[in-house]
Amino acid sequence: MKTLSTADYVVFLVYFLIVAIYGYWVYQRKKLAHASSTDYFLAEGSLTWWAIGASLIASNISAEQFIGMSGSGFKMGLAIASYEWLAALTLIIVAVFFIPVYLKNKIFTMPQFLNQRYNGTVSVVMAVFWLLLYVVVNLTSILYLGALAVSSISGLNFTFCILALAVFAVIITLGGMKVIGFTDVIQVFFLILGGLATTYIALNLVSDHFGGSGVLNGLSLLEEKAPDHFHMIFSKDNPNYIDLPGLSVLVGGLWIVNLNYWGCNQYITQRALGADLKTARSGILFAGFLKMLMPVIVVLPGIAAYVLWKEGKFQQEMLLNGEVNPDHAYPVLLNLLPTGLKGLSFAALTAAVVASLAGKANSISTIFSLDIYKKIFNTEATERKLVNVGKTTVIVAMVLAILIAPYLGIDKKGGFQYIQEYTGFVSPGIFAMFILGFFWKKATSSAAMFATIGGFLLSVVFKFLPKIADLSFLSPFGFSVKNADGVYEIPFIDRMGFVFIFCIIGMFIISIVENKRGVVPKGLEVDAKMFKPHTPFIVGSIIIIGLLLALYTIFW
DSSP string covering 315-356, please? TTTTEETTEE-GGGHHHHHHTTSPTTHHHHHHHHHHHHHHHH
- Both 258 and 207 in one domain: the answer is yes
49 and 147 fall within a common domain:
yes
Regarding whether 386 and 461 lie in a shared domain, the answer is: no
Backbone angles phi, psi at 239, to 5 degrees: -60, -20
Integer Cα distance of 51 and 154 in angstroms: 30
Q: What is the SS3 assignment for 488?
A: strand
Is 531 contained in some domain?
no
- Sequence-distant (6+) residues with CB within 8 A of 18 are 186
Report the half-sphere exposure of 133 (CA within 13 A, side-chain side). 23
∠ at Cα 75 (462, 311), nearest 5°? 160
Query: What pLDDT is stored for residue 477 in this prediction?
Result: 66
Position 34 scores a pLDDT of 46
What span, in angstroms and rounded, lies between the C-alpha atoms of 519 and 130?
27
Q: Provide the b/e sequence for 431-450 (b: ≥16 CB within 10 Å).
A: bbbbbbbbeebbbbbbbbbb
* 454 and 343 housed in the same domain: no
Residue range(s) defining the domain that contains residue 360: 6-19+39-416
Same domain, 476 and 401: no
422 to each of 257, 475, 491, 529, how far by Cα in Å? 11, 24, 13, 38
Global pTM reads: 0.82
Tally of structural domains, the chain: 2
The CA distance from 101 to 119, in Å, is: 18
Handedness of CA 249, 252, 255, 256 (dihedral sign): negative
CATH at 155:
1.20.1730.10
- Is 556 inside any structural domain? no
pLDDT at 39: 58
Are 333 and 475 found together in one domain? no
Residue 146 resides in a domain: yes
Which ranges of the chain have pLDDT less than 50? 1, 32-34
**Residue at 474 is within a domain:** yes
Element of type H or E holding 19: helix 6-29
How far is residue 223 from each of residues 115, 212, 218, 227, 257, measured CA to CA in Å? Answer: 51, 15, 9, 5, 29
Residue 488 falls inside a structural domain: yes
In 267-424, which ranges are E strands?
A: 319-320, 323-324
Confirm whether 83 is domain-assigned.
yes
Q: Within this chain, do residues 396 and 454 fall inside the same structural domain, yes or no? A: no
Please check whether residue 174 lies inside any domain of the structure.
yes
Q: Which amino acid is it at 417?
A: Q
CA separation for the pair 368, 362 (Å, rounded): 10
Q: Supply the Cα-derived Rg of the chain in whole angstroms.
A: 23
Residue 39 in contact with residue 390, Cβ under 8 Å?
no
